[in-house]
Amino acid sequence: MLLIHCPYCKSDLPELEFANAGEAHLVRPADMSDMSDADFADYFFVRDNPKGVNLERWRHAHGCGRFFNAVRDTVSDKFLKVYPAGEPRPSDAEVKALLEAQAEGRKDGGSGA
């Protein structure tokens, strides 16, 4: 079973306690009333879903109920980092270092988490 670390409860808990809430760090348009229907649809419905590292928003639905952000590798399904909502997104260099650490863990026979 996949265990996810809740940064508020400070515990590794089963994935069944959590709900994915989509892409993290989205910037809301300043004035949505000025957007065309097509632009609004793109903002509201279209999300990046790259193979590899994603910055995601999660909710500890069956626990503390709080939202947090995560850096997750969709290829390995490993959570590389979790951090409270409201904290700035990790830099590209930090994400690269997290991926390299995960790869080193695989080479060494570790879990990579």
CA separation for the pair 41, 38 (Å, rounded): 5
96 secondary structure, DSSP code: H
Rounded Cα distance between 52 and 41, Å, is 25
Which parts of the chain fold into alpha helices (H)?
37-45, 92-107
Instruction: Report whether pLDDT(109) > 80.
Output: no
Label the pairing between strands 19-23 and 53-59. Answer: antiparallel
**CATH homologous superfamily of domain 18-27+39-107?**
Folate-binding superfamily (3.30.2270.10)
Output the pTM of the full model.
0.82
- For residue 27, give both structure tokens: 């910037």
Question: Can you tell me whether residue 22 is helix, strand or coil?
Answer: strand
Q: What is the pLDDT of residues 75-100, one digit of tens each?
A: 999 999 999 999 999 999 999 999 99
pLDDT in tens, 4-62: 999 999 999 999 999 999 999 988 888 989 999 999 998 888 887 789 999 999 999 99
Q: Which residues, 6+ apart, have CB-to-CB distance to 82 below 8 Å? A: 4, 5, 6, 7, 58, 68, 69, 70, 71
Q: Give the three-state DSSP class for 80.
A: strand
**What are 92's strand-pairing partners?**
none
